[in-house]
Amino acid sequence: RKEVEQDPGPFNVPEGATVAFNCTYSNSASQSFFWYRQDCRKEPKLLMSVYSSGNEDGRFTAQLNRASQYISLLIRDSKLSDSATYLCVVTYDTGGFKTIFGAGTRLFVKA
């Protein structure tokens, strides 16, 4: 089983749609959770951290469920510029912090 697994993509949605991505992780000792965005041929960039209480940043809402070991990302009112790959990222301490990426979910937002 992969350490971090994401919804298979791609997701094709029209502008203005709401889209949700899920991600599960296998290591119950995981401590930190993030969503990164990666544009084609660019490096991943931090989109938002994910907190146990859930958090929102504009059109983006992230949730964490430690009991079920999954995190989610909700994008409301999708824009063309949201088209990218969204990577679920989990960090845990193995005597040195280790950051593991999910395979990513590709999102295409169309006019």
Q: Which parts of this chain interact with other proteins (CB under 8 A)?
A: 31-32, 34, 41-46, 49, 87, 89, 91, 94-104
Indicate the residue among 18 and 26 with the shorter CB distance to other proteins.
26
* In the complex, least distance from residue 97 CB atom to other proteins, rounded to whole angstroms: 5
CB distance 13 to 108 below 8 Å: yes
* In the complex, least distance from residue 92 CB atom to other proteins, rounded to whole angstroms: 10
The span from the CA of 8 to the CA of 52, in Å, is 24
DSSP letter at 55 equals E
* In the complex, least distance from residue 47 CB atom to other proteins, rounded to whole angstroms: 10
Indicate the residue among 14 and 95 with the shorter CB distance to other proteins.
95
Query: In the structure, how many helices (H) and strands (E) does the chain have?
Result: 0, 11
Residue type, 37: R
Indicate the residue among 15 and 39 with the shorter CB distance to other proteins.
39
Task: Note the maximum CA span of the chain.
Answer: 47
